[in-house]
Amino acid sequence: MKPATFPEVFSLQGEHALITGGGTGIGLAIARAMHAAGARVVLIGRREAELAAAVKELGDRASYHVHDITQFGAAAPLVERIVQAHGPLTCLVNNAGMHLKKPAVETTPEEFQQVMNTHIFGAHALSRAVIPGMIERKHGNIIFIASMASLFGIPLVVAYAAAKSAMIGMIRTMATELSPHNVRVNAIAPGWIDTAMSRKAFAGDPNRKSKIISRTPMARLGEPEDVGWAAVYITSPAAKFVTGSILPIDGGVAMGF
């Protein structure tokens, strides 16, 4: 096999990525980076106005579908519609999620289930829908957006932490099953990233930001594009021997004190 050369080794030309929660925040940053690297991107989410604005910004090679990933039975028909409209999907980014900040003793079974439905069952349903085509073509990438909560203990997020931890087990199992078919499965674990959601959280708790930065060796928040370009790397030929990995994008939080 002829070795790839720079910059082709980081190109996503010919890739077709489905990105959940792609209208805002980290999902949109991933879409921007993948699109800039040459991929066609399809954004899905529940809020059409945000998706439409994102696709308008991206321009050619971008489209969207309004979809609730907790409607598990709708995953396969969605993928079929996308494939018929734009061709086979070669990459799935399971980014959509929900947060719940509540003491463990106050978290109800219904709330716990809702978080798991989004992060685990919804992601699994979409993965099941795209995997057969990837196996058939002997080419594919599935990326999960994990969390610092899947690496160490964070108080008041028991359902979220459980879901993100379960995600790590799912990634490792799927990577082992799919690797013989040249389908790679990896995760990105963002640290504290400067997004509209994090700014809203800090506005209600001004001491939290300074506490987070004091525990971050690089002493600042990350930017959404830091996660976006990491996703490009994982999907690109440069990472063709990378699977089952969890890549922290966290300014050193996971290894700092």
pLDDT at 31 over 70: yes
The single residue of 112, 144, 160, 192 carrying the catalytic annotation is 160
Distance separating alpha carbons of residues 43 and 119, to the nearest angstrom: 17
What H or E segment, with its residue span, contains residue 171?
helix 158-178
Q: What's the topology of domain 13-249?
A: Rossmann fold (3.40.50)
Q: Which residue has the tokens 């980290």?
A: 26
Contact 237, 9 (CB under 8 A): yes
Query: What predicted TM-score, i.e. pTM, was given to this entire model?
Result: 0.95
Per-residue pLDDT, 1: 63
Inter-axis angle of helices 123-137 and 158-178, nearest 10: 10
Active site residue 233: no
**DSSP string covering 196-226, please?**
HHHHHHHHT-HHHHHHHHHT-TT-S-B-HHH
Of 135, 129, 17, the residue nearest 73 (C-alpha): 129
What is the residue extent of each domain of the chain? 13-249
What does pLDDT average to over the chain? Answer: 95
Per-residue pLDDT, 110: 98
Contact 65, 81 (CB under 8 A): yes
Distance separating alpha carbons of residues 67 and 36, to the nearest angstrom: 24
Task: Report pLDDT digits (tens) over 237-253.
Answer: 999 999 999 999 999 99
pLDDT at 100 over 70: yes
pLDDT at 55 over 90: yes
Mean pLDDT of all residues in 41-70? 97
* Whole-number Cα distances in Å, 109 to 72, 105, 115, 125: 20, 11, 10, 21
User: In angstroms, what is the C-alpha Rg of the chain?
Assistant: 18
β-strand 183-190 against 16-20: which pairing, if any?
unpaired
The 3-state DSSP class for residue 35 equals helix
Q: Which residues touch 150 (CB under 8 Å, ≥6 apart)?
A: 161, 164, 165, 167, 168, 189, 246
DSSP-derived letter for residue 121 is I
Q: Which residues touch 239 (CB under 8 Å, ≥6 apart)?
A: 184, 186, 233
Task: Report pLDDT digits (tens) over 115-167.
Answer: 999 999 999 999 999 999 999 999 999 999 999 998 888 899 999 999 999 99
Distance separating alpha carbons of residues 85 and 88, to the nearest angstrom: 9
β-strand 16-20 against 40-45: which pairing, if any?
parallel
∠ Cα 14 90 126 (to 5°): 150
